[in-house]
Amino acid sequence: MDLKKMLGFDSQTMNIKTEIVAGVTTFLSMTYILAVNPEILSAAGMDKGAVFTATALASAIATLLLAFMAKMPFAQAPSMGLNAFFAYTLVIGMGYQWETALAAVFVEGIIFILLTAFNIREKVVDCIPASLRYAISAGIGMFIAFIGLKNAGIIDANPATFVTLGKFTPSSILAMVGIILSGVLLIKKVKGALFYSIIICTLAGIPFGITTIPEDFSLISMPKSIAPTFMKFDFAGLLSYDMLIIIFTLVFMDMFNTVGTLIGTATKANMMDSEGKLPRMKEAMMADAIGTSVGAVLGTSTVSTYVESALGIAEGGRSGLTALVVGLLFIFSLFFAPIFMLIPAAATTGALVIVGVLMMESIKHIELDDISEALPAFITIMMMVLTYSIAEGIILGMLCYVLVKFFSNKRKDIVPSMYVLGALFILKYILA
């Protein structure tokens, strides 16, 4: 077997044991998605067991594609942020059926494939100002954390102030413990910190009735059927102006997430070539795009490259062999669905908040001394949380950018495509 040709593994400079350890490390660091994704998408009315199977399968397929196509040590799974966008913006916020939202994800994946195949992706990404790209990441992080706090009852509704601190219930207290525990484990550099925090909180919730164990519980079982979500598309619901904007937004968010993760992680690991570019970038993007389309067919939200891949790379993973190990472990996890189905919302709060914290890192790249850059970025972040919509935050942030730059005589900073987007977004609100 030629591992170099298949997976980019060079026996002269790489070690098989190191690649395997790196793969296990990456998998443990992102297994929380197997608990969190079904929890989030079930809020949209999707079958939790089917979503678990779809999540594991989509993660495995996308990561294996990346292993063999791009030969890189990265892993993929349904994106944190885009799953929240799917459930809380498209379905709960805008009132679309989850079948329509799933169709939108499928179409987005096909568009992503075409943009990658024809090398248009860089032009699409470059038309959005860097400050807004960083703000989108930070805003999604805050939105994810807010969802976690709300679902656990730490944050509650209030008729006078809209939101307030919730009551101290067993569920909210367990969630608070999970947040602190997740942070401490990360600080101590425990591999799979978020996974272990979720498991510990799930076990701690048993005596308090937060974690309920069914009578027919077993540690291992055959994978849950994906029949409730498999190819459940409603394309008719896509025929609206709002949904066109939504698909457009999905494409951008997926690209930003993938490009940012790949380049940022690879740069820290000194994996860039002499020209400062990431080798086989096109193949990595194509694996991501195909993974998204396949994931939609199976019944899950947009698949994207995970920043947790950095932990495996830090362990020495440098080839597709690392990704191969991750993909195989996701397949293995299919038989442990009963364990993941036990996990209550309170046990996943720590992971959601920590992911939010990690995504906030991008704020440091925003030119906060320049109000024409800082204000649109602030609007983007703030409005995602206050409108409970990632899409509204992005749209309002872009509109703010165009208007502020235009009226402050900084028109040279506005690329032509931003004017087009600004006009389309204004039209969206006029027609609403």
pLDDT in tens, 150-175: 888 999 989 999 999 999 999 999 99
Spatial distance between the Cα atoms of 197 and 335, rounded to a whole number of angstroms: 21
Q: What residue spans define the domains of the chain?
A: 3-366
Residue 356 has pLDDT above 60, yes or no: yes
Q: Tell me the β-bridge partners of 303.
A: 78
Spatial distance between the Cα atoms of 253 and 257, rounded to a whole number of angstroms: 6
Give the per-residue pLDDT at 286. Answer: 93
Encoded tokens for 104: 């939108």
User: What is the pTM (predicted TM-score) of this model?
Assistant: 0.79
- 4: number of Cβ within 10 Å: 15
* Contact assessment for residue 60 and residue 331, using Cβ atoms and an 8 Å cutoff: yes
How sure is the predictor about 431, in pLDDT bands with cuts at 50, 70 and 90? low
How sure is the predictor about 183, in pLDDT bands with cuts at 50, 70 and 90? very high
- 119: number of Cβ within 10 Å: 10
- Taking alpha carbons only, the member of 286, 261, 311, 305 closest to residue 68 is 286
Encoded tokens for 32: 């929380």
Spatial distance between the Cα atoms of 55 and 51, rounded to a whole number of angstroms: 6
Q: Tell me the β-bridge partners of 165.
A: 155
pLDDT tens string 239-297:
887 888 888 888 877 877 787 677 666 765 667 676 656 778 889 889 999 999 999 99
Per-residue pLDDT, averaged over 339-345, amounts to 83
Give the per-residue pLDDT at 389. Answer: 77
Give the per-residue pLDDT at 326. Answer: 95
